[in-house]
Amino acid sequence: MNEPFIPIILGTARPGRQSQSVAEAVLDVAKQRQVSADLIDVADYPLTATGAASAAKSLDHYRELVAAADGFIIVAPEYNHGYPGELKLLLDSEFAGYSRKPVGIVGVASGRIGGARMIEQLQQVTTALRMVPVLPSVNVTNVTEAVNAQGEFDTTTLGTSLDDMLEELEWYARQLSAVRS
Amino acid sequence: MNEPFIPIILGTARPGRQSQSVAEAVLDVAKQRQVSADLIDVADYPLTATGAASAAKSLDHYRELVAAADGFIIVAPEYNHGYPGELKLLLDSEFAGYSRKPVGIVGVASGRIGGARMIEQLQQVTTALRMVPVLPSVNVTNVTEAVNAQGEFDTTTLGTSLDDMLEELEWYARQLSAVRS
Amino acid sequence: MNEPFIPIILGTARPGRQSQSVAEAVLDVAKQRQVSADLIDVADYPLTATGAASAAKSLDHYRELVAAADGFIIVAPEYNHGYPGELKLLLDSEFAGYSRKPVGIVGVASGRIGGARMIEQLQQVTTALRMVPVLPSVNVTNVTEAVNAQGEFDTTTLGTSLDDMLEELEWYARQLSAVRS
Amino acid sequence: MNEPFIPIILGTARPGRQSQSVAEAVLDVAKQRQVSADLIDVADYPLTATGAASAAKSLDHYRELVAAADGFIIVAPEYNHGYPGELKLLLDSEFAGYSRKPVGIVGVASGRIGGARMIEQLQQVTTALRMVPVLPSVNVTNVTEAVNAQGEFDTTTLGTSLDDMLEELEWYARQLSAVRS
């Protein structure tokens, strides 16, 4: 069987976003495992609600990546206990392609809670999209302290949670891709 | 392969509970499919928080049923936008046995919303228990009107939602039971 | 004391949005009460995440309206059990101006659940923004059937829920505006 | 005006509960402020779902305390991302007495997240009960390390969050008790 394809969705487009450093570090870790991984940056796609077209890539491209995926990782900050609006706009632009595919969520926060409340809301959304939310989630706390001057995120601050999440995500990705019609 | 075992958890112990009629009707529908089904009544089990022991069955019996299950259906009312306390106490009494098993939720309400808010909270709890929440959920609205004088719930009021949920639940139950170690 | 100012936030910018008919009908009902009301259309404001600037009004204008408000009504559809991304982007563009002001939520759906799941998520966000979510919420079900050929929403389909929500919202708006420093 | 009465609900009855140490420490802090405070221990009340009667106090006593309260603090652990069942059973045993009264929530956890997910679910329940959830919430992380051999919880581990929560809670308690009919 081929390696499962697990795109990593970077779920914020805000200038100065530190989730980018986290997403790139997660991508590096994933690439060292038996999976194929790539980055989907929400900032590259047009925001569907307004039809604004000045984006680097088309929504068709996003939908093709979703269709090809065997599972997903979402890396996103928590804003006011919820998910970023631009992430929701991108997720809402597709439906059928998500079905019966696992999703692991990495919450990013400058505070102590590590995006836990955002993760809970996003689990409800991904369940509605017929994905399988897997645990453990990853909580990035005090992100500012864990990113160095070169913009590199130190994954050792995560303990075993990222590896544990990838392990469970890959198990579901392999099992479900083999039987998903 | 054997038929998957799908117990139906009746999640309220309140006197006069109409969810019992719904759970019994769901059991009847499930038995006509290629599954093995049984009723787990929360009222039969001791409430773990207090160590109260005057219950018909032991928690060991509950844990054995959970271990044997290939998936779950939970039938429960919505109280103040959340789940019944006695259901949470029973769910919290076990952990490992739920992992990698699908769960479908039937919300019961006397009003129009059909327990949708309770279902969202319970999806978060079942995700934490490492279950796979499947959709569609079933929303029983205006339950009082759908139960006759003999206490029988009319499943035709559900449209196709119950069948659709069982279809998805059984797909996951079969696929995951084949590979779950 | 002056009439409390209660802007109504129309929380979707999607083409063909039926929530617009609902928001305009809610505005009409509100204007017949002892309040000052106005419509804030999310489509008029730039989406902050991307800095896109082609919008009818500036975010400064939004922040001025929020500062002047004594309470809020949000009218929004439910997408995949969550809130629209463009609504979250607008809400996240301000913080201090919301504090200690009540908010009532009107969920709009083509189905039977009436946006109840979106309302629950939005209550968590508005609580994080230090607003006071008031009940009852309003659930608009089967919205397509309740809007006529002229695009007018029939508020009689709501029973007493809209009036009950406005009653509670106005009580909080009056009491809190009198003591809010 | 009299001092507002703010009972502290200890929301777990589990043997070995460390939330008791936290609740007692919160009570001590509250008593040093301009409020009247008392402890409501969920373990003292019968569990309503089953009619079990062997409890130290009657539900009538609970309802009298709720009626007399000007606001509430709930101290509770997070179990599987939700609230304890026994807490939900107690909250569900009353309705009208909660209305238009503020509530602050203290989440207790042995891990790093500090009950943040339980708090979000409980905010939805308390909003349904017509209370006003106030922020900031208090997140007790790694509780085991913050309780000494005498069972005393060290409130200095909370930073300013407990004082900030009490400040906001008391503001609402004073303002709303003056106008609540």
Strands C132-133 and C102-108: parallel
pLDDT value, residue A51: 58
pLDDT value, residue A11: 97
Q: Is B10 on the interface with D (CB under 8 A)?
A: no
| Closest-CA residue of chain C to B120 | C117
CA A77 to chain CA mean position, Å:
11
pLDDT value, residue C1: 56
Share of chain B above pLDDT 90, in %: 86
Torsion of CA D24, D26, D31, D37, to 10 degrees: -80
For the cut 80, the answer to whether the pLDDT of residue D181 exceeds it is no
| Closest-CA residue of chain C to A124 | C81
Best A81, A113, A123 member to test D by mutation, with max D CBs in 10 Å, is A113
Q: What is the mean pLDDT of residues A124-140?
A: 98
Q: What is the mean pLDDT of residues B159-174?
A: 97
Structure tokens at B9: 């958890």
Binned at pLDDT 50, 70 and 90, residue D54 comes out as low
Q: Is A82 in Cβ contact with C85 (below 8 Å)?
A: no
- Using CA atoms, how far apart are residues C128 and C139, in angstroms rounded to an integer? 22
Q: What is the mean pLDDT of residues B68-74?
A: 98
pLDDT value, residue A175: 96
Nearest to D147 by CA among D159, D138, D157: D157
| Closest-CA residue of chain C to A126 | C80
Q: Is B120 on the interface with A (CB under 8 A)?
A: yes
Fill in the DSSP letter of residue B3.
P
Q: What residues form DSSP beta bridges with D103?
A: D72, D133
Binned at pLDDT 50, 70 and 90, residue C50 comes out as low
Share of chain C above pLDDT 90, in %: 86
For the cut 90, the answer to whether the pLDDT of residue C147 exceeds it is yes
pLDDT value, residue B50: 63
How high is the ipTM of this complex? 0.95
Q: Where are the alpha helices (DSSP H) in chain B?
A: 19-31, 59-68, 85-92, 116-128, 143-146, 161-179
pLDDT digits (tens, 9 = 90+) for A38-88: 999 999 998 767 655 567 788 999 999 999 999 999 999 999 999 999 999
Share of chain D above pLDDT 90, in %: 86
pLDDT value, residue D125: 98
Q: Is C10 on the interface with A (CB under 8 A)?
A: no
**Domain range summary for chain A, segments of one domain joined by +:** 5-179
Q: Is B43 on the interface with D (CB under 8 A)?
A: yes
Nearest to A140 by CA among A78, A50, A71: A78
pLDDT digits (tens, 9 = 90+) for C63-115: 999 999 999 999 999 999 999 999 999 999 999 999 999 999 999 999 889 99
Task: Tell which wins on pLDDT, B16 or A72.
Answer: A72
User: B52: distance to nearest CA of chain D, Å?
Assistant: 8
User: B154: distance to nearest CA of chain D, Å?
Assistant: 26
Mean pLDDT of chain C: 94
Binned at pLDDT 50, 70 and 90, residue B136 comes out as very high
pLDDT digits (tens, 9 = 90+) for B44-60: 998 767 655 567 788 99
For the cut 70, the answer to whether the pLDDT of residue D4 exceeds it is yes
User: D45: distance to nearest CA of chain A, Å?
Assistant: 31
Residue numbers in C near B120 (CB within 8 A): 81, 117, 120
- DSSP states of C85-102 as a string? HHHHHHHTT--GGGTT-E
Binned at pLDDT 50, 70 and 90, residue D52 comes out as low
pTM: 0.97
Binned at pLDDT 50, 70 and 90, residue D9 comes out as very high
What is the CATH superfamily name and number for domain A5-179? Flavodoxin domain (3.40.50.360)
Binned at pLDDT 50, 70 and 90, residue B1 comes out as low
- CB-count exposure of residue C59 (10 Å: 0-12, 13-18, 19+): middle
